[in-house]
């Protein structure tokens, strides 16, 4: 009997070691309560009060910049909407407009990616308030072999790529990659 108990412990230990489970770091969930930081592929609606020629939609390029009339390239990656509005107003004040009133809104967030055991893996539009379960439903739902309790998410935070396993009720962020694993039985 002691040999049997020992073998059960060894098998459990090996399965745990092979599972690759990683508890998400604290920053993984803390980012969900912080103001949204802009990044590549976000499409912004920028309004400059009383300046119809400047008010338009702008997309953040892969380098993290928008090209804005009169002032040229403006760094947007990592800034909040308010920080970007302040930066544009500051640059417009430098010889172009006396007291510009600028507002920035996200028109379209960067997409999320759903991979693994779903009906139709791919890139999908992020909607504010979206959860893992909503993203999977958008991808056509789980496949017949899917593990449905939790998923792996890859998330970029302050330039660092973090991975973690979360329940399907967890909220997601624009740019997240969701991976639905295959179940064992």
Query: What whole-number distance in Å separates Cα of residue 52 and Cα of residue 92?
Result: 14
pLDDT of residue 33: 87
pLDDT value for 21? 57
Answer with the residue of higher pLDDT: 82 or 25.
82
List of domains in the chain: 43-108 (3.30.1950.10), 109-180 (3.10.560.10)
pLDDT of residue 45: 98
Summarised one tens digit per residue, pLDDT across range 113-168 is 999 999 999 999 999 999 999 999 999 999 999 999 999 999 988 788 999 999 99
Q: What is the mean pLDDT of residues 86-92?
A: 97
* 3-state SS assignment for residue 44: strand
- pLDDT at residue 180 in the model: 97
Q: What pLDDT sits at residue 17?
A: 45
Is the confidence at residue 85, as pLDDT, over 90? Answer: yes
Q: Using the Cα atoms of residue 134, residue 146, residue 166 and residue 159 in order, give the sign of their dihedral.
A: negative
Chain CA centroid to CA 45, Å: 19
- In this predicted structure, the answer to whether residue 38 has a pLDDT above a threshold of 80 is yes
Tens of pLDDT, residue by residue over 161-181, are: 999 999 999 999 999 999 999
DSSP 116-140: ESBSS-EEE---TT-BHHHHHHHTT
pLDDT of residue 61: 96
- Please compute the mean of the pLDDT values over residues 72-91 and round it to a whole number: 96
Express each pLDDT in 6-22 by its tens digit. 545 555 554 444 455 56
**DSSP bridge pairs for 47:** 103
């Amino acid at each position: 009997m002691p040999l049997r108990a020992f073998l059960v412990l060894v098998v459990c230990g090996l399965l745990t070691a092979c599972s690759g489970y990683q508890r998400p770091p604290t920053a993984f969930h803390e980012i969900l309560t912080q103001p949204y930081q802009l990044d590549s592929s976000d499409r912004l609606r920028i309004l400059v009060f009383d300046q119809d020629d400047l008010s338009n939609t702008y997309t953040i390029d892969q380098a993290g910049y928008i090209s804005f009339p009169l002032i040229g390239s403006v760094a947007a990656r990592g800034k909040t909407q308010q920080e970007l509005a302040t930066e544009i107003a500051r640059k417009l004040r430098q010889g172009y407009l006396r007291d510009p009133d600028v507002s920035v809104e996200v028109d379209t967030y960067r997409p999320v990616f759903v991979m693994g055991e779903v009906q139709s893996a791919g890139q999908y539009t992020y909607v504010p308030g979206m959860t893992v379960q909503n993203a999977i439903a958008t991808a056509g739902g789980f496949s017949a072999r899917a593990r449905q309790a939790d998923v792996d998410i890859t998330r970029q935070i302050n330039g660092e790529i973090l991975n973690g396993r979360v329940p399907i009720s967890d909220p997601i962020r624009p740019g997240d990659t969701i991976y639905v694993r295959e179940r064992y039985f």
